């Protein structure tokens, strides 16, 4: 059998050069070059371990270290010549290393496969990116705390079914957002535990016959431990799915914040002022100021959930161990990281500039009979059963609707016509301030309670 001179991997095995389209079709270097620094990091640790068990000599190891650092500089400077002929990031770096240092470069892959190599690279990459996401989450949470502090006593309507329900404080509303992000952070650190396990040593699927020291490599790379099963190590992408699920929830939360900000900037709500720097105009309607940033974030939330579906479907029904399918894990993962980081950043940048239009919020809370429940609770305290109290208040609301007045604007005589148990202390609780101040239990909306919640949150952050 004659062999064809190609750059193809294990070219001796092949009698034909790869079809040009297949070469392009199967290559991943265009996108996986993003893992270059993790790939080098992994190779350095692998080489050190190989040296410790005398598979590489000290000189070969030094050559590898020097070669890889030169490659790292070339990549940083944008001078590295990425080639589709070398298929992926791993082969590109290895080929360049061999160019630079000769035969020692060819020895680096001893006891290793691209299968355990790529799994290691992705884990290193995600570990780093979770750090970046956490930084942005923290910035956003800090901005929320600052705004919540400023608006701890600002009254606004709270909604259920998007109908005015009960008065709340704006600070309390912002702290609800804060809580969602705290859970997001917890999910990321939980998933990090499973990300931070090292596949290297699994080689192609069955491990290797060299007396490798996986503990050493894991320590060098900062992994908590080497993985338990070689087959699972090269094929597991649960960690990437978990990460994308956590990211989907972050985006889902941002989409909810977005939706509210968009509603609140509309003329119909007019609860907040969004800084010009985060809005754009319309090409035809001169009066428009559109909340583009939250709209875009709301839109982008869809693609992260889409990425989650892609990864779930990618893994579904895959037999052990590694399959080329897994090359498709990278683009959804990278897109997820970029989208989450950018959206969090946009929100963290924008949040400090959001201004509450307190008068409008207050007026809206007054319009919706938001203290109706407070009146019912008042009647209960006077000895009336809650369901009967509910009836009485319903009648009072009808009168308010007919005469276009809030409950606090009805006269004492009018209120007493519904229940003789009402006396003039009722007006304290019919006022929005009284209503929110009375909800002072843990988790309540009272300004002082919100301030305590902010204090606790700040300490935790
Ligand atoms: N580019 C491949 C990937 O992303 C690397 C592993 C390739 N392994 C193989 N046996 N073809 O998954």
**What is the rounded CA–CA span in Å between residue 447 and residue 162?**
23
pLDDT at res. 48? 98
Arithmetic mean of pLDDT over the chain: 95
The DSSP bridge pattern shows strands 197-198 and 225-226 to be: parallel
pLDDT at residue 190 is higher than 60: yes
**What is the rounded CA–CA span in Å between residue 426 and residue 440?**
19
346-373 per-position pLDDT tens digit = 999 999 999 999 999 999 999 889 999 9
Contact call for residues 297 and 346 (beta carbons, < 8 A) = yes
Phi/psi region, residue 153 (left: phi>0; alpha: psi -120 to 50; beta: rest), is alpha
Pocket test for ligand 1, best of 87, 118, 203, 231 (most atoms within 8 A of CB): 118
pLDDT at res. 240? 98
- Token readout for 272 is 């907040």
Nearest-CA residue for ligand 1 atom 12 is 327
Q: Which atom of ligand 1 has the smallest separation from the CA of 88?
A: 1
pLDDT at res. 11? 67
> Which whole-number Å values give the CA distances from 109 to 43, 205, 314, 451, in the listed order?
9, 15, 28, 58
Residue 114 CA to ligand 1 centre (angstroms) = 6
**Sign of dihedral through CA atoms 131, 137, 139, 141?**
negative
Cβ neighbors of 190 (< 8 A, separation 6 or more) are: none
Report, as an integer, the average pLDDT of 445-452: 98
**What is the rounded CA–CA span in Å between residue 150 and residue 23?**
59
Residue 327 CA to ligand 1 centre (angstroms) = 6
pLDDT at res. 125? 98
| Residue 118 CB–ligand 1 contact under 6 Å | yes
In the three-class reduction of DSSP (H, G, I as helix; E, B as strand; rest coil), residue 4 is classed as: coil
**What is the rounded CA–CA span in Å between residue 166 and residue 191?**
38
Report which secondary-structure segment, H or E, holds 253: helix 238-265
Residue 284 CA to ligand 1 centre (angstroms) = 50
| Residue 88 CB–ligand 1 contact under 6 Å | yes
Contact call for residues 290 and 267 (beta carbons, < 8 A) = no
Contact call for residues 151 and 429 (beta carbons, < 8 A) = no
The DSSP output letter for 57 is -
Q: Which residue has the higher pLDDT, 406 or 239?
A: 239
pTM over 0.85: yes
Cβ neighbors of 388 (< 8 A, separation 6 or more) are: 379
pLDDT band, residue 9 (cuts 50/70/90):
low
Active site residues: 161, 282
Residue 326 CA to ligand 1 centre (angstroms) = 7
Domains, in order of start, for the chain: 18-110 (1.10.275.10), 115-155+169-362 (1.20.200.10), 366-460 (1.10.40.30)
pLDDT at residue 79 is higher than 60: yes
| Residue 28 CB–ligand 1 contact under 6 Å | yes
pLDDT at residue 12 is higher than 90: no
pLDDT at res. 7? 56
CA end-to-end span of the chain: 67
Nearest-CA residue for ligand 1 atom 3 is 327
298-338 per-position pLDDT tens digit = 999 999 999 999 999 999 999 999 999 999 999 999 999 99
> Which whole-number Å values give the CA distances from 258 to 36, 262, 287, 293, 300, in the listed order?
35, 6, 22, 8, 11
pLDDT at res. 2? 38
Residue 340 CA to ligand 1 centre (angstroms) = 26
| Residue 301 CB–ligand 1 contact under 6 Å | no
pLDDT at residue 165 is higher than 60: yes
44-64 per-position pLDDT tens digit = 999 999 999 999 999 999 999
**What is the rounded CA–CA span in Å between residue 417 and residue 428?**
19
| Helices and strands (H and E) in the chain: how many | 20, 6
261-301 per-position pLDDT tens digit = 999 999 999 999 998 888 877 777 777 778 999 999 999 99
- Token readout for 219 is 């320590």
Report, as an integer, the average pLDDT of 126-147: 98
- Token readout for 329 is 């894990």
| Residue 39 CB–ligand 1 contact under 6 Å | no
| CA nearest to 340, candidates 253, 258, 250 | 250
pLDDT at res. 296? 97
Q: What percent of the chain has pLDDT over 70?
A: 98
pLDDT band, residue 4 (cuts 50/70/90):
very low
- Token readout for 388 is 């009967």
In the three-class reduction of DSSP (H, G, I as helix; E, B as strand; rest coil), residue 210 is classed as: coil
| CA nearest to 28, candidates 86, 106, 104 | 86
**Sign of dihedral through CA atoms 442, 443, 444, 447?**
positive
pLDDT band, residue 5 (cuts 50/70/90):
very low
Contact call for residues 123 and 198 (beta carbons, < 8 A) = yes
**Sign of dihedral through CA atoms 429, 432, 434, 437?**
positive
pLDDT at res. 10? 57
CA 336 to chain centre: 8
The DSSP bridge pattern shows strands 272-273 and 355-356 to be: antiparallel
**What is the rounded CA–CA span in Å between residue 256 and residue 294?**
10
CA 70 to chain centre: 35
pLDDT at res. 259? 98
Residue 3 CA to ligand 1 centre (angstroms) = 23
| Residue 327 CB–ligand 1 contact under 6 Å | yes
Report, as an integer, the average pLDDT of 13-31: 93
| CA nearest to 110, candidates 180, 47, 170 | 47
Residue 362 CB: number of other CB atoms within 10 A? 17
Pocket test for ligand 1, best of 42, 114, 318, 331 (most atoms within 8 A of CB): 114
Hey, which bits of 263-347 come out as E strands?
272-273
| Residue 10 CB–ligand 1 contact under 6 Å | no
Contact call for residues 362 and 62 (beta carbons, < 8 A) = no
| Residue 86 CB–ligand 1 contact under 6 Å | no
pLDDT band, residue 1 (cuts 50/70/90):
very low
Residue 451 CB: number of other CB atoms within 10 A? 15
In the three-class reduction of DSSP (H, G, I as helix; E, B as strand; rest coil), residue 111 is classed as: coil
């Amino acid at each position: 059998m004659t062999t064809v001179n190609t750059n193809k991997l294990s070219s001796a095995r092949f009698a034909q050069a790869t079809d040009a389209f297949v070469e392009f079709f199967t290559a991943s270097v265009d996108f996986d070059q993003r893992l270059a620094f993790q790939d080098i990091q992994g190779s350095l640790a692998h080489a050190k371990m190989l040296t410790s068990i005398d598979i590489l000599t000290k000189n070969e190891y030094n050559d590898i270290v020097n070669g890889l650092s030169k490659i790292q500089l070339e990549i940083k400077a944008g001078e590295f010549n990425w080639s589709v002929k070398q298929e992926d990031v791993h082969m590109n770096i290895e080929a360049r290393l061999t160019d630079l240092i000769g035969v020692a470069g060819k020895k680096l892959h001893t006891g290793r496969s691209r299968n355990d190599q790529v799994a290691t690279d992705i884990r290193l990459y995600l570990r780093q990116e979770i750090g970046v996401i956490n930084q942005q989450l923290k910035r956003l949470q800090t901005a929320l705390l600052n705004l919540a502090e400023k608006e701890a006593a600002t009254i606004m309507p709270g909604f259920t079914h998007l109908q005015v329900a009960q008065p709340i404080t704006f600070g309390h509303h912002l702290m609800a957002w804060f809580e969602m992000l705290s859970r997001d952070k917890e999910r990321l650190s939980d998933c990090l535990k499973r990300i931070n396990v090292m596949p290297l040593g699994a080689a192609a699927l069955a491990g290797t016959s060299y007396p490798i020291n996986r503990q050493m490599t894991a320590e060098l790379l900062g992994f908590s431990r080497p993985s338990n099963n070689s087959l699972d190590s090269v094929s597991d992408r649960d960690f990437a799915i978990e990460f994308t699920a956590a990211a989907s929830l972050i985006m889902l939360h941002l989409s909810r914040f977005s939706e509210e900000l968009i509603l609140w900037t509309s003329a119909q709500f007019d609860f907040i002022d969004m800084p010009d720097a985060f809005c754009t105009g319309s090409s035809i309607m001169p009066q428009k100021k559109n909340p583009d940033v939250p709209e875009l974030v709301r839109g982008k939330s869809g693609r992260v959930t889409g990425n989650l579906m892609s990864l779930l479907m990618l893994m579904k029904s895959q037999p052990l161990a590694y399959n080329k399918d897994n090359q498709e894990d990278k683009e959804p993962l990278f897109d997820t990281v970029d989208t989450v980081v950018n959206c969090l950043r946009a929100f963290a940048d924008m949040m400090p500039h959001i201004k509450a239009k307190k008068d409008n919020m207050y007026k809206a809370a007054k319009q919706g009979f938001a203290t109706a429940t407070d009146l019912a609770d008042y009647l209960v305290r006077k000895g009336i059963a809650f369901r009967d109290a509910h009836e009485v208040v319903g009648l009072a609301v009808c009168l308010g609707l007919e005469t276009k007045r809030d409950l606090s604007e009805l006269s004492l005589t009018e209120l007493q016509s519904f229940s003789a148990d009402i006396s003039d202390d009722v007006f304290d609780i019919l006022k929005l301030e009284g209503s929110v101040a009375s909800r002072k239990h843990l988790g309540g909306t009272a300004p002082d309670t919100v301030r305590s919640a902010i204090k606790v949150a700040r300490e935790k952050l």
